[in-house]
Structure 1
């Protein structure tokens, strides 16, 4: 009997995903019917979804065996009370590589002081402004999941001392790992550059508040490609105004697009990027989705299953 997968991630994404999903289905040999509308919800076996997609009430799909999210983050879905089906987040090596490139680029930008040369092409020869060795520039990696581990290990490979922090104890080769509130203070008090790659949960919202920003060495830099609400916006703006935080590069925000009147746009110590740190590549993400469907049909455990209690 044909299995049905409902692409409910929205009409805008369908043209990008359609050829890659069809290719992945052909390569696995599945008898899988892709649909973009579901006139009979009870016949839907799998739901391919993204925030802002076509579904708000998952209870209409009682026979769906899994909801397969196209984003790494699931905070906009996992709290939906109608969602009782297993939920899988996107873990894609190509997405991870994109995040590694973005994070590494911005950490090196801060470390090397590149902005001062780009912005000061004024004929003045400035000596004595070379960067210190990377080994003297501690970097804090807040979040040691798939993305945080990969970014932290890439930075460690470049010679940066990387201090990792997570809500639960971890061991990651090349990273000095910490956990708990005491561990967070230890990490932040040493960090000259802070990267946030935590999931958004009740426990991580406003993690970087005024008190914790106060632990940073004066002039520390912040790079946030994780989730906007990880940072208390008012506290960060105050720390930027005093110079406690030297600069912040922010890719994610509480409201997106970031409103034109938001103070981040005009602040001289803030760089805004439009949620571009690590887009999901349709070609490789399609392979991940179809592989998970194939596993489910073969009676194997789903990959990247979300823990509802933890929220990711």
Structure 2
């Protein structure tokens, strides 16, 4: 039997994904019809991104699963018409890219590179950083992305703590969980990395109260989600010196409006949502594997828990 697969994402992605998915499905032994326009009542799987224009899943009466091309699913989960299994993207290429971005900016902060890049104004200041083992880094969120970043930093000998909603175990990382664990994780974070999902429970994780728990002069990296930070509270913490610097890759409104105070703030570095991206070559492999599983009854992977929102 042939599996009918609807590709619903930005049209520009179709020429990229079509050969990758077709080849992968053939190699996996899955007979499939793959297109951007199929009768809804004949579709078995939807390869999906919210910006593809599809929102109403009601007509898809034989749908087996929706397979997201995005790691974040906060815009998909609330859809009341989506009642079949939803799988988020857990992509090795995306994970590697995020780990590289986080590691690079942690090292930048750790080594004090900004001062040398901007220039020392003729002053011979020999501010030697500690070794990595003397620098405390905290990663909030220990899913696939957070765990990979924390592990890499630990292998570089940073003193790494990580926090998650539920217990985790990662070699070389002090893993904390629960409300008390969060306070402890924040209290030691000289460099704080935010890699939590965007859910009602994580919105404004960094507010005035939690920012005050950080060691004075802490530095913040947010490649996770814009809603994790109370922007007004962060700006106040930057202005008071409680936070020395923030590098932000994600924002509540994107692109970040030209008038937003982050652009002009001397203690903020803005990067335009480039920390990582789904890589078609590896993402196609994830999609193919889930379709194969759906056709053989092995059970889908990376399924979203609707109650938790990720």
Q: Tell me, what secondary structure is at the counterpart of 1:68?
A: strand
In 2, the alpha carbon distance for the partners of 1:51 and 1:104 equals: 29
1:1-312 correspondence to structure 2 within 5 Å? 1-38=1-38, 40-120=39-119, 122=121, 124=122, 126-312=124-310
Deviations 1:134-163 (A, max 9, x none): 111100100011111110010001111111
Q: Paired residues, what number?
A: 310
CA contact 1:140–1:195 (8 Å) conserved in 2: yes
In 2, the alpha carbon distance for the partners of 1:182 and 1:71 equals: 31
Listed as ranges, the gaps of 5+ residues in structure 1 are none
TM value normalised by structure 2: 0.97
Q: Tell me, what secondary structure is at the counterpart of 1:229?
A: helix
Deviations 1:246-293 (A, max 9, x none): 111111111111111111111111111111111000011001101110
In 2, the alpha carbon distance for the partners of 1:280 and 1:78 equals: 19
In 2, the alpha carbon distance for the partners of 1:244 and 1:109 equals: 19
In 2, the alpha carbon distance for the partners of 1:141 and 1:184 equals: 10
Deviation at 1:121, TM superposition (A): 6.1
In 2, the alpha carbon distance for the partners of 1:126 and 1:68 equals: 55
Deviation at 1:125, TM superposition (A): 5.2
Task: Decide which moves more: 229-238 or 126-135.
Answer: 126-135
Deviations 1:43-86 (A, max 9, x none): 00000001211211111212110000011111110111111010
TM value normalised by structure 1: 0.97
In 2, the alpha carbon distance for the partners of 1:180 and 1:3 equals: 43
CA contact 1:250–1:273 (8 Å) conserved in 2: yes
Q: Tell me, what secondary structure is at the counterpart of 1:63?
A: coil
Deviation at 1:96, TM superposition (A): 0.7
In 2, the alpha carbon distance for the partners of 1:114 and 1:281 equals: 29
CA contact 1:59–1:84 (8 Å) conserved in 2: no
Task: Decide which moves more: 281-290 or 25-34.
Answer: 25-34
Deviations 1:94-153 (A, max 9, x none): 21111110100000000001110110064x252321211111110010001111111001
CA contact 1:95–1:281 (8 Å) conserved in 2: yes
Deviation at 1:7, TM superposition (A): 0.2
